[in-house]
Amino acid sequence: MAKLDCEQVRSLIDAALDGELDAVGQVAFDEHLVACPDCAAAHAARLAFVRRLRAEASRFAAPASLRARLPAGLPLRQAGRPPPPPRWRWWLTGGTWVASAAALAVSLALFLVPPGRQDELTRELVAAHVRSLMPDHLTDVPSSDRHTVKPWFNGKVGLSPPVPTLADKGFPLIGGRLDYVDEHTAAALVYRRNQHVINLFVWPAPGTPAPATTGRNGYNLVEWTRDGLRYAAVSDVNVAELENFQRLWTTAASEGEAENAAP
């Protein structure tokens, strides 16, 4: 897959925000953002603008007086020519106006109502997962030892996630890496389920979204929040296995923290 340069990425920002890139293009786009702070900043600024516009843009209904005056402004039929059938009169006399208005309405709708934030985040997470499966992208610190993986994040990301191993539960830890999700540098804990990879992304949670299970392009996601952090497990394992991973991980993390807090 060819890498994108800065000029190409800047030209694709709006298409990426509207979900118009294919899977390969989205991965290349996201990969460039991770490596280029300037393009990441441009993307973040555009995303903030779109969100603000969606939240603050006003919509107004035409007043009754204006709707009443519209027919008077339509062209009159020529004398001696029979009127068209009533059901077509509006379209034949005002067809150009209607077509223009409809095109404008569709354009405004597409601009003012971009994909929901959850859809954007789901797309980001799946793209990050797919990108990690490329050669030499899966782990920055390959290790099954949580005492190696957990301290590796110190000073690299502003959080310290629990790192249970889960090997005895069928989900062995294989390492960790840094990633970029939801405009935050994120920790990615990497587990396996047989031949399948599970990426567990962890980043600061500005709010408290409800737990969610979603899917996209054959990948499943399970999301939750805990102690001010947001978690998202992404994999091509089935939903039941991924939700089981979430339960086992949360239980093991709680038990590990309780042990560490014990005198």
Q: How confident is the model at residue 94 (pLDDT cuts 50, 70, 90)?
A: very low
pLDDT of residue 172: 97
Name the residue with tokens 């800065």.
Answer: 6
pLDDT of residue 3: 84
The yes-or-no verdict on residue 89 having pLDDT over 50 is no
For residue 84, CA distances in Å to 99, 134, 155 come to 19, 63, 75
pLDDT in tens, 185-196: 999 999 999 999
The yes-or-no verdict on residue 240 having pLDDT over 90 is yes
Whole-angstrom distance between the N-terminal and C-terminal Cα of the chain? 53
Task: Tell me the pLDDT of the chain averaged across its residues.
Answer: 79
pLDDT of residue 195: 93
Q: At CA 56, angle to CA 13 and CA 124, rounded to 5?
A: 35
The more confident residue out of 120 and 173 is 173
